[in-house]
Amino acid sequence: MNFLWTLLFMALIGALIGGYTNHLAIRMLFHPHEAKYIGKWRVPFTPGLIPKRRDELAKQLGRTVVEHLLTPETFKRRFFSNDMRLKAEVWIQGQLTKHLFESDMTLKQWLAKAGIEHVPSRVEGKIDSVIDEQLALLESRFATKTMRELTPEQWQQQTDERIPEIVTYMIDKGEAYFDSEEGRLTLKRLIDDFLSSKGTIGNMIQMFMGESSSIVKRVQPEIQKFLNAPGTFDLLSNLIQGEWEKLKDRPLNELIGGFDINPVVTTVKTYLKQELAVEKRLDGTLQSYWPEGANWTASNLTPKMTEFVFTQGELKLEETIKRLKLEEMVQAQVNTFPVARLEDLILGISRKEFKMITVLGAILGGLIGLIQGGIVYLMNMI
């Protein structure tokens, strides 16, 4: 009976020693938080293991996070999957549809929101300046050039070829005119004016030739003969051709020198402003100008934009992670933690395991106590 009590006592003592030893070892991982001194002599095992090795722990934790937790492959699996691309595309298109194509904001309001104001006056001012600049440029470039230099060679050739047609047309129209009653009256008026301007001589001619009507009857056939004469066609052709050649050699500034172009320019500017109607056009919404905008972006813009963003993000992912310096960030953050917070962090993860270590120490201590008790009993028996 005494042997049994001794065996149980030794087992109890062993369990207490084993459990407390493990508990003390776990406590020594964190405590004390600072080094303890007796005079200048530092007490051994102070501070605790984790406070003493906090810098190394921070480095190792940062390396573990970068190499095993927040790796490029982890981000790719999590953020660059096909499912995430589809969700991103749907979200982007939803935002475009909601905030752009279904919005009641006018183009003028959108521009004002972007910091662009007074658009109508700025556009009209730009129209004026562009027209003035282009006009000045044309004047400086072409004012001293001749028609021959400015007109395309093909146009000049076509004009030369059309001169015989023009002469024929003029002769035909002349014949028809002087053969008509209007032409006869015109000849009569010209003859009367001519004779009246000559005074006595005119009266004498009229006495010999009779009234102007009879003179017209005599002159009218002669005009028709003149127009039908072969030399008339050549005369008019040479005359028009010569004038056309002179015209081609005249500088442009001589041809338009007396022409005031400012009213024309003002009219063009006014017409352009009226046709553009910038103020009125800016009062419309994006949906009114582009009814199929949402469908078009959903089919053409959003998929390509999402694909581009994800492709570029995946290509730049590793470089971005390196630039973030996650290892240094984790290390710096852990170094700022108070030791008590580190203790709570580690114990919050492994509290049950540490308790099991304490219990295991007590069990092993108890078993060792039983074994020791058995050995002592056997030695006493011998």
SS (H, E, C) 96-114: HHHHHHCCCCEHHHHHHHC
Query: What CA–CA distance (Å, rounded) separates 22 from 339?
Result: 21
CA distance 207 to 230: 35
CA distance 42 to 47: 9
Q: How wide is the angle at C-alpha 209 spanned by C-alphas 203 and 214, nearest 5°?
A: 115
pLDDT along the chain (382 residues), means of 10: 69 73 69 67 64 70 72 77 87 88 85 83 87 80 74 82 86 82 77 62 51 67 79 85 82 68 82 85 85 88 89 80 74 69 62 69 72 70 66
Amino acid type, 181? E
Q: How many CB atoms lie within 10 A of CB 369?
A: 22
Q: Strand, helix or coil at 93?
A: helix
CA distance 371 to 148: 126
- Report phi then psi at 151, rounded to 5: -80, 135
Sign of the torsion angle spanned by Cα atoms 348, 353, 357, 362: positive
Q: Tokens 């028709």, residue?
A: 224
**Under 8 Å between Cβ of 294 and 96:** yes
DSSP state of 146: B
User: What is the structure's pLDDT at 368?
Assistant: 74
How far apart are the C-alpha atoms of 139 and 64, rounded to whole Å?
A: 75
What tokens were used for 211? 């009234």
CA distance 191 to 304: 86
- For residue 184, the one-letter residue type is R
Question: Residue 221, preceding bond cis, omega within 30 degrees?
Answer: no
Q: Which strand (E) or helix (H) includes residue 298?
A: none
Domains of the chain, residue spans: 2-80+315-381, 147-250
Nearest one of 337, 327, 329, 347 to 54, comparing CA atoms: 337
CA distance 244 to 238: 10
What angle, rounded to 10 degrees, do the helices at 339-381 and 54-64 form? 110
**CA 291 remoteness from chain centre:** 21
Q: Is the peptide bond before 47 cis (omega within 30 degrees of 0)?
A: yes
